[in-house]
Each structure stands twice: as structure tokens, then as C-alpha cells.
């Protein structure tokens, strides 16, 4: 029998960082009366919940557009012309960067391509791109297309590092060893700092150092790391990074993404870049010159003017992260994930008729983010997750054929959510 619901509620009451659940729109479950309630939403690693304050924030921008028209660029509550600068400071704090190293723009994969224009400079001798074998498909597609664009065979140019036989997660040590032994052919290392499938957190400092020692450029996909784990991008020495904001950052489906470029590259006029209206120096932008006036910040990777209605949710989210602070959120994440892990272990210990679930996420809290990936051998997890939601109000993510991802997000999830998820999973498997 799993730990009691009462114990989960007591943990919530005593926790030093109360969840901000009441500030988010949690999907309802049930229809009316006693059966109605809120979901246990453990799918924030796919799409974060909507902050309740967002509707008013967007309303302000719409009202300013209605009131000022084009003059909203300078007269809106938050003037649109320099709007993206409002995000620079909090975004830099979130990822451990200096303000001039960060800009919020575009979507994640667009940013990966724009950065690879600058930082993937292959030669016949050094043209390999290293990714993890379980990289998110979009990253795989992006690097393959970049290699092909430069005239290389993607099947040969893309090196996919796999876990050791019998293991689910790729070890940092194995990445470092590969770069030490074969790094002379590597042009770019591009890994997900937190792997989307296993939830593993890589050692950014160690891999960055190993890649650069081998002569490669090192970039990071932070899609599952930004807002999930503390980051120190500047101090790590990483050359560049990119992230989205619709997962742990709760900025809405398809929301704007972020870019980091280390300061040592910012004044490098030799780097190729695609340019556009917002790439040039804002002080001379309206001189309408035919040639870009470069700036020594990450802004020089911008192409288009920022979409204000899409930036507003990101700004609100960054404000909330500033309020809570990543150290406190990370500590809460470790507590929540550890508690969920203990419940799943208890399930495994009492498994009889059902196949015991197996947590494939690393057990060491320092090697994972706010996610546990659970393999349920011999079961199609698609119908299983639909039952979790339909019968128990538990949102989880299915990765077919046999893995469920559960993400206890510290901004809004509770110990009670974890208890509900574990007890629902036990019931569904028993059935």
C-alpha cells in the first residue's frame, strides 16, 4: 500500500516553498458537484500551465494597441520599440548569463539554425556534429539539414552518442571520453542539457571544457533545462545556447524562445550571420541605412522586430521566476521528484500481477531535473495515459511504446499531485 494521502498533504503544508498553484489555470476534472476538481498536472515538461495574470497582461497590450495605434511603439504602457529589452535582465538571470549575452526571439529550432549559421563552420577534416542518440527529433532534423547544406553526408557527419549497453541514460563521462579520443573530427557539440526522454541532466561545465579542448564549438539546447535547473552559462564557457519558453517557463504553446551567445563572440565581426531589421544598432535604426550597423550584444542575431503579444507571456513568466528564485525552485524540485521516486519504488516493491514499472531517469538528484521517466515493459502507454487522465485526472506524457514521463514542476505542482499520480498509475497497472 502506498504512502498515505494525509502524509502528502502534510508535506505540502510544511514545505518551505509553497506551490504557486493558485496563480495558474489548472485543467479541471470531473463535471460538477463533489466529483469536480483540478487535475494533477505532471505534463509541464511538454507544456506549462497558463498563469492567471496573463489575461490582464495581454489585455493591457491590446488596449494600448486600440488606444495608440502605431504610436504604441513609444507611448504604450510598456513601449513596444524597446520591449525586448525588458526581458534581457530576467532572462540572463534565469540562465546564468550577462544581459548583453541574451536575447528573446523566434522559436527554438529557428534559433538553432541562426546560431549554426555562425558557429557550425565545417571543413573536410572537421565537420562532425555530436548529439545524443535520444535527442529530440527537431534537433536531429536541424543538424542533419545543416550538414547537408554544407555538402556533407548527414549519415556520416552526425555522431549520435548512445548509452552503454543495458543503460537508458548517456553518461557525461562517456561524452567526455569520446571528445577526448575522437574530438579532432568534431566541429560542433550540441546536446540537450536535460534530455527530453530520460530527464538526465548533463554536466555542462565538463562537456563544454572537453569539447573546446578538442577544438570544437559547444552549444546547448536548454529546452528542458531553462526554468528547470539552475544554469551558469557564462561561467561554463559554453559558446552558445538556445531554449524555448513553453515548457517549464509557462509562456504558452509555441511561445518565443531565447538565445545565449558568450561575450567572447559578441564583437567578432568575422562570424557569419543572417541579418534583418532588428540586427542593426537601435540608435541608428531609423536612419534607414542599407547596411547593418553591428552591435556587440546578442541582439545582433535578431532578424525581425519582436512580436509584442507573444513577448508579454514570456515577460510575465520571467517576472515570476525572479520572484521565486531558481535556487528555491530547484530545492523544491529535488524534494518533489524524490518523493515521487519513493512512491514509484514502493509500487515496484509490491508489484505482483502487473509488470513492475522501471524508472529510467538517473537516481542521483544531481543528474536529473524535474522529471521521472518510467518504463512499463509490455504495455502500450498511449491508452494507459489516457486512462490516467480520464479516470483519475492525472496528466502524464506518453512516449511510445513503453515510457511515461512525469514532471513534478515546483512552480505549481504539489506533493499531493505526486501522490495522486503514483496511486493512479498503480491502479491502472493493477487493472
Residues 245 and 273 both lie in one domain? yes
> What are the tens digits of pLDDT across the range 291-332?
999 999 999 999 999 999 999 999 999 999 999 999 999 999
- Is the pLDDT confidence value at 363 over 60? yes
Amino acid 357: pLDDT: 85
For 372-428, what is each residue's pLDDT tens digit?
999 998 888 999 999 999 999 999 999 999 999 999 999 999 999 999 999 999 999
| 128 and 198 assigned to the same domain | yes
Same domain, 263 and 146: yes
- pLDDT higher than threshold 70 for residue 31: no
Looking at residue 409, its pLDDT comes to 98
Which residues have CB under 8 Å from 127's CB, separation 6+?
147, 150, 152, 157, 185, 187
Pick from 298, 324, 350: which residue ends a domain?
324
Q: pLDDT, tens digit, for every residue of 393-405?
A: 999 999 999 999 9
Our count of domains for the chain comes to 2
69 falls within a domain: no
C-alpha cell at 78: 510598456
- Structure confidence by residue, pLDDT tens digits, 41-90: 999 999 999 999 999 999 999 999 999 999 999 999 999 999 999 999 99
Q: What percent of the chain has pLDDT over 70?
A: 97
Examine the fold and report which residue of 284, 306, 324 is the final residue of a domain before the chain moves on. 324
The pLDDT of residue 30:
73
Q: Whats the size of the chain, residue-wise?
A: 431
Domain that holds residue 358: 5-52+325-430
Of the three residues 275, 296, 324, the one that is the final residue of a domain is 324
Q: How many CB atoms are closer than 10 A to CB 25?
A: 14
- What does residue 165 show for φ and ψ, rounded to 5 degrees? -55, 130
Confidence of residue 343 (pLDDT cuts 50, 70, 90): very high
Instruction: State pTM to two decimals.
Output: 0.95
Same domain, 238 and 268: yes
The answer to the question of residue 67 being in a domain is no
For residue 39, give the CATH number of its domain. 3.90.1150.10
Judge if 360 and 289 occupy the same domain: no
Q: How confident is the model at residue 283 (pLDDT cuts 50, 70, 90)?
A: very high
352 and 232 belong to one structural domain: no
- For residues 178 and 30, membership in a common domain is answered with no
**What would the pLDDT profile of 245-276 be if each residue is shown by its tens digit?**
999 999 999 999 999 999 999 999 999 999 99
Is residue 35 pLDDT above 50, yes or no?
A: no
Please list, residue by residue across 237-262, b when 16 or more beta carbons sit within 10 angstroms of its beta carbon and e when fewer do. bbbbbbbbbbbbbbbbeebbbbbbbb
| For residues 129-155, average pLDDT | 97
Whether residue 179 sits in one domain with residue 156: yes
User: Are 312 and 331 in the same domain?
Assistant: no
Amino acid 34: pLDDT:
45
Beta strands, E only, 376-415? 394-395, 397-399, 403-406
pLDDT score of 3: 79
Rounded mean pLDDT, 111-117: 98
419 in the same domain as 348: yes
Residue 249 placed within a domain: yes
- For the chain, give the mean pLDDT: 95
User: Is the peptide bond prior to 390 cis by the omega test (within 30 degrees of 0)?
Assistant: no
pLDDT for 362 beyond 70:
yes
Which CATH number is 220's domain given? Answer: 3.40.640.10
What tens digit of pLDDT does each residue of 175-223 get?
Answer: 999 999 999 999 999 999 999 999 999 999 999 999 999 999 999 999 9
Judge whether 130 and 189 are in contact, CB under 8 Å: yes
Amino acid at each position: 500500500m502506498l504512502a498515505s494521502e494525509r502524509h502528502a498533504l502534510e508535506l505540502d503544508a510544511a514545505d518551505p516553498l509553497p506551490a504557486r498553484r493558485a496563480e495558474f489555470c489548472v485543467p479541471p476534472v470531473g463535471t460538477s458537484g463533489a466529483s469536480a476538481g483540478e487535475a494533477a498536472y505532471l505534463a509541464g515538461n511538454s507544456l506549462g500551465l497558463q498563469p492567471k495574470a496573463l489575461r490582464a497582461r495581454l489585455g493591457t497590450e491590446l488596449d494600448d494597441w486600440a488606444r495608440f495605434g502605431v504610436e504604441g511603439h513609444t507611448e504604450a504602457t510598456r513601449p513596444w520599440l524597446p520591449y525586448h529589452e525588458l526581458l534581457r535582465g530576467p532572462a540572463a538571470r534565469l540562465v546564468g548569463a550577462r544581459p548583453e549575452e541574451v536575447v528573446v526571439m523566434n522559436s527554438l529550432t529557428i534559433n538553432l539554425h541562426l546560431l549554426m549559421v555562425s558557429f557550425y563552420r565545417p571543413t573536410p577534416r572537421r565537420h562532425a556534429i555530436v548529439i545524443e542518440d535520444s535527442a529530440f527529433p527537431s534537433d536531429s532534423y536541424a543538424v542533419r539539414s545543416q550538414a547537408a547544406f554544407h555538402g556533407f553526408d548527414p549519415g556520416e557527419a552526425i555522431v549520435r552518442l548512445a548509452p552503454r549497453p543495458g543503460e537508458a541514460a548517456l553518461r557525461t563521462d562517456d561524452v567526455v571520453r569520446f571528445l577526448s579520443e575522437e574530438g579532432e573530427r568534431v566541429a560542433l557539440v550540441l546536446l540537450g542539457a536535460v534530455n527530453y526522454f530520460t530527464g538526465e541532466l548533463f554536466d555542462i561545465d565538463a562537456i563544454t571544457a572537453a569539447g573546446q579542448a578538442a577544438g570544437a564549438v559547444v552549444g546547448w539546447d536548454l529546452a528542458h533545462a531553462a526554468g528547470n535547473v539552475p544554469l551558469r552559462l557564462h561561467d561554463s564557457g559554453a559558446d552558445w545556447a538556445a531554449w524555448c519558453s513553453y515548457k517549464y517557463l509557462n509562456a504558452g504553446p509555441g511561445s518565443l524562445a531565447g538565445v545565449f551567445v558568450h561575450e567572447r563572440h559578441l564583437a567578432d565581426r568575422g562570424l557569419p550571420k543572417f541579418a534583418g531589421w532588428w540586427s542593426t544598432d537601435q540608435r541608428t535604426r531609423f536612419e534607414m541605412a542599407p547596411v547593418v550597423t553591428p552591435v556587440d550584444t546578442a541582439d545582433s542575431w535578431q532578424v525581425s522586430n519582436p512580436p509584442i503579444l507573444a513577448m508579454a507571456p514570456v515577460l510575465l513568466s520571467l517576472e515570476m521566476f525572479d520572484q521565486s528564485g531558481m535556487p528555491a525552485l530547484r530545492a523544491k524540485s529535488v524534494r518533489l521528484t524524490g518523493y515521487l521516486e519513493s512512491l514509484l519504488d514502493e509500487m515496484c516493491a509490491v508489484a505482483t500481477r502487473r509488470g513492475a514499472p522501471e524508472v529510467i531517469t538517473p537516481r542521483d538528484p544531481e543528474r536529473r531535473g524535474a522529471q521521472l521517466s518510467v518504463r512499463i515493459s509490455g504495455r502500450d502507454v498511449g491508452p494507459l495515459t489516457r486512462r490516467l487522465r480520464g479516470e483519475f485526472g492525472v496528466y502524464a506524457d506518453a512516449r511510445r511504446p513503453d515510457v511515461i514521463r512525469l514532471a513534478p514542476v515546483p512552480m505549481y505542482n504539489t506533493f499531493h499531485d505526486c501522490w495522486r499520480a503514483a496511486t493512479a498509475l498503480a491502479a491502472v497497472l493493477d487493472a
